[in-house]
Structure 1
Amino acid sequence: MIQISIITVGMNHLTYLKNLLFSLYSENNIQTSFEMIYIDNCSTDGSVEFISRNYPNVKIIQNTRPLGFGENNNKGVLASTGQYIAIINPDIIILKNSLDTLLNYIKDNLHIGIVVPKLLNPDFSIQYSVRGFITLKTLFTRIMTKGKDNINNKLISQYLCKNIDHTKIQPIDWAIGAALFMSKKTYAELGGFDVDYFLYMEDEDICLRCWELKKAVIYNPDAIMIHNHIRASSKLGKKTILHLKSMYTFFKKHGFSIKSPKHFYQ
């Protein structure tokens, strides 16, 4: 029986996919049974051909037209057979036992909805992957500081949760969707990702809805992955517009002031 279904969506991410697949299949990093499902979002860089040739065990779903992040992941989960779902971006490198650690933790804590690993930058520094829920003030400040994480700003530091203990297992508001782990049952209860978002905000939305189901979102730094973060929306362009549209959708759906639910977690 397959324990973990790894769902990865890619669009011209061959360079990153090579590292991800090597970490999964060539370094014996996962002890439990798993499958990988790759959803190709109309790549033209040979991603499908490379995976088919070198990793024939990977299930490949090829889109005939580009779909959003949430819809693609939902397709992958529908095609999965595992009891647990790992949403893994193509720019992730899986370190040894990280997925096993997340699996064992969530099995031992059935009240947990989503658990996320510690993410490191390629230079092994801490990546600020844990966030507080967005507010209009935070959004405005984020725009004014051009989305830079290393800015010296109190509000941005709070939003990026820079002062949390990155060695401690703890409840969080949400984490970026590069690596999310949950049971397939929880995914179904959440209805998967909200397809009203084409790109961006799906991760914050699904974590908030998880809290609304009275299931905690947990940061577990005992599981560690490397994330070569692709920040496509930090430069003004089409993806910036998509990000702003997703912000509008999020605020319209959840309101402008969200109280952090993690403080009520026991």
Structure 2
Amino acid sequence: MQSEPTAQPIGGSPSGAAVTVVFVTYNSAAVIARAVASVPPACPVVVVDNASPEGTGWVADLPRPVDLVAMPANAGFGTACNVGARRADTSYVLFLNPDAELAPDAIDQLLAAVARYGAPAILMPAIVGEGGRLMRKEGSILEKVPRGARLAPQEIAGDYCTRFVHGAAFMMGRDAFLALGGFDEAIFLYHEDDDLSLRATARRIPIVVVTAARVVHAGGRSSTPSFGQTFRINRAKMHSELYVVEKYGRSRNRAARLAFLGAGCLLAAVLLDRHRLAIRAGKFAGCLDGVRRNAPPTV
């Protein structure tokens, strides 16, 4: 693999100052301070706020200065990430969810992997839940990984290549990310990492999990949950799924999907499971809507 030009200190390896950490927030005041505090002092931080209804007053309480970009409207996760990448002026960008925290040496481990594997490459830390469970992305909406083909955590020894980017935390050369087109801005929320993975693999850009680099991800805490928000998020998720399936020329039986989701709504209602009902009903509504481009819901 050809090496990508980087800002390098004496010694030949890029330093933490070569990495900008990009956060995208939406009503994330409850979690963002811990995430920002986990970023090494040498790394610049860009926070792109997607017009949070709660505002951005929390910036004054952050443990360190950040470069805040306040979007005039909620443009979606991928669009905001692209804004953050363009705002950065370092060789690398690391995208991190606001409910995730970097281990103290995570960026050093990722930069050491740059020296090992060259560039361009997408480098992902090992993502673990708060209970210590390893969270791996097992396939995408277009490339399923059968359960029997999945590795158990104890079978993983060292770094490994995968075909799937986990959007919660990954690092890439800034210029390489932008040359790849960044995230597809027609996708408002969810599956933008599936699409990025497909484009990266088509260009033979490796996706490497660096197991010594760790990120703790709370999951689902980037904004305050509610029935309405869960419904809207899952409606958007279905819009994204239908868009990506259409983009890559894959057909899906929408009538069968509607029947499955409708049955799921009924079961959730019978069980009085409001959370599951919001998920199934949101996806049912999104499936009825069909493909939506650049028509963000209020989430």
1:84 aligned to 2:99? no
Structure 2 residue runs of 5 or longer lacking an equivalent are 1-6, 8-16, 252-299
| Cα pair 1:5 1:82 within 8 Å, conserved | yes
Which residue matches 1:41? 50
Offset from partner CA, 1:67-88 (integer Å, 9 cap, x none) = 1111101111111111001011
Which residue matches 2:260? none
Deviation at 1:39, TM superposition (A): 0.6
Q: Say how many residue pairs are matched.
A: 231
| Cα pair 2:120 2:173 within 8 Å, conserved | no
Which residue matches 1:248? 242
1:219 aligned to 2:239? no
Which residue matches 1:16? 31
CA distance in 2, matches of 1:158, 1:173: 17
CA distance in 1, matches of 2:100, 2:64: 20
SS in 2 for 1:238: helix
Amino acid at match of 2:27: N
Amino acid at match of 1:253: K
Deviation at 1:112, TM superposition (A): 4.7
| Cα pair 2:122 2:207 within 8 Å, conserved | yes
CA distance in 2, matches of 1:208, 1:107: 25
CA distance in 1, matches of 2:62, 2:99: 18
Amino acid at match of 2:125: P
Offset from partner CA, 1:171-196 (integer Å, 9 cap, x none) = 11113200011111210221111001
> Higher relative CO (CA 8 A, sep ≥ 6), structure 1 or 2?
1
| Cα pair 1:131 1:175 within 8 Å, conserved | no
CA distance in 2, matches of 1:205, 1:94: 25
SS in 2 for 1:175: coil
Amino acid at match of 2:249: G
CA distance in 1, matches of 2:117, 2:241: 32
CA distance in 1, matches of 2:213, 2:226: 28
CA distance in 2, matches of 1:246, 1:167: 34
| Cα pair 1:34 1:82 within 8 Å, conserved | no
Which residue matches 2:131? 123
Fraction of identical pairs, as percent: 21
Amino acid at match of 1:81: D
CA distance in 1, matches of 2:23, 2:230: 26
| Cα pair 2:37 2:64 within 8 Å, conserved | no
CA distance in 2, matches of 1:77, 1:256: 30
User: What does 1:95-244 correspond to in 2, within 5 Å?
Assistant: 95-127=103-135, 129-135=136-142, 155=146, 157=147, 161=150, 163=152, 165-230=155-220, 237-244=231-238
Amino acid at match of 1:16: V
| Cα pair 1:92 1:228 within 8 Å, conserved | yes
| Cα pair 1:42 1:62 within 8 Å, conserved | yes
| Cα pair 1:106 1:182 within 8 Å, conserved | no
Sort the Cα spacing of 1:245 and 1:225 in 2 relative to 1 into closer, same or farther, 3 A.
same
Amino acid at match of 1:181: M
CA distance in 1, matches of 2:71, 2:44: 20
Sort the Cα spacing of 1:167 and 1:130 in 2 relative to 1 into closer, same or farther, 3 A.
farther
Sort the Cα spacing of 1:223 and 1:3 in 2 relative to 1 into closer, same or farther, 3 A.
same
| Cα pair 2:37 2:63 within 8 Å, conserved | no
| Cα pair 1:130 1:172 within 8 Å, conserved | no
Offset from partner CA, 1:198-218 (integer Å, 9 cap, x none) = 000111111211111111111
Deviation at 1:249, TM superposition (A): 1.2
Offset from partner CA, 1:89-143 (integer Å, 9 cap, x none) = 101011111011112212331245201011111111222x32223249x6xxxxx
Structure of higher CA gyration radius: 2
Deviation at 1:158, TM superposition (A): 5.6
SS in 2 for 1:38: strand
Which residue matches 1:144? none
Over the residues paired in the alignment, what is the CA RMSD in angstroms? 2.6
Structure 1 residue runs of 5 or longer lacking an equivalent are 25-29, 139-153, 258-266
**In proportion to residue count, which structure has more strand?**
1
